[in-house]
């Protein structure tokens, strides 16, 4: 069984269920969650993350509404086969950008400041060679 998430962060700006949803998107985007891969049961994930099982249920239900997973009665929750990795990368990237922007504004920076800084930082990293995809977990 693919364990797609190691921990949640109660201090994160995202509610816990949204963190679980983002980790599923990440798994799809980087290929660790393949079509028809089974997600852990609600109980397993609740126990593993020390969270309320209703939070896991909420995350899975939202993912189903978005068409990323399907339920099989008595069997569990699975990744939908037709989900494409590329759009999930975009959804994730937008969410990361929103958080970075919020942080930039908090520090009195503009989106232009942030864009320039990202380009400069990314340039330096690319010179060092980026890791291919994200095969390793955090």
Site for another protein, rule CB under 8 A: 8, 10-11, 13, 15-16, 42-43, 46-55, 102, 105-106, 108
CB closer to another protein, 6 vs 52: 52
Residue (50 or 73) nearer to another protein, CB:
50
Q: Which two tokens stand for residue 66?
A: 């978005």
Residue nearer to another protein on the CB measure, 1 or 13: 13
Q: How far is the CB of 35 from another protein (least distance, A)?
A: 27
H helical segments located in the chain: 16-30, 42-49, 53-65, 85-106, 111-128
54-to-2, 13, 61, 70, 114 alpha-carbon distances in Å: 20, 19, 10, 17, 37
């Amino acid at each position: 069984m693919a364990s797609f998430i190691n921990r949640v962060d109660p201090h994160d700006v995202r509610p816990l269920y949204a963190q679980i949803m983002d980790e599923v998107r990440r798994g799809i985007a980087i290929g660790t969650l393949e079509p028809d891969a089974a997600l852990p049961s609600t109980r397993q994930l609740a126990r593993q993350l020390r969270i309320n099982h209703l939070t896991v249920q909420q995350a899975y239900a939202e993912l189903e509404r978005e068409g990323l997973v399907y339920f099989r009665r008595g069997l569990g929750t699975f990744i939908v086969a037709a989900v494409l990795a590329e759009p999930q990368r975009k959804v994730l990237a937008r969410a990361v950008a929103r958080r970075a922007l919020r942080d930039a504004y908090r520090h009195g920076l503009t989106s232009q400041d942030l864009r320039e800084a990202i380009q400069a930082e990314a340039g330096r990293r690319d010179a060092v060679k980026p890791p291919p995809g994200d095969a390793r977990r955090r």
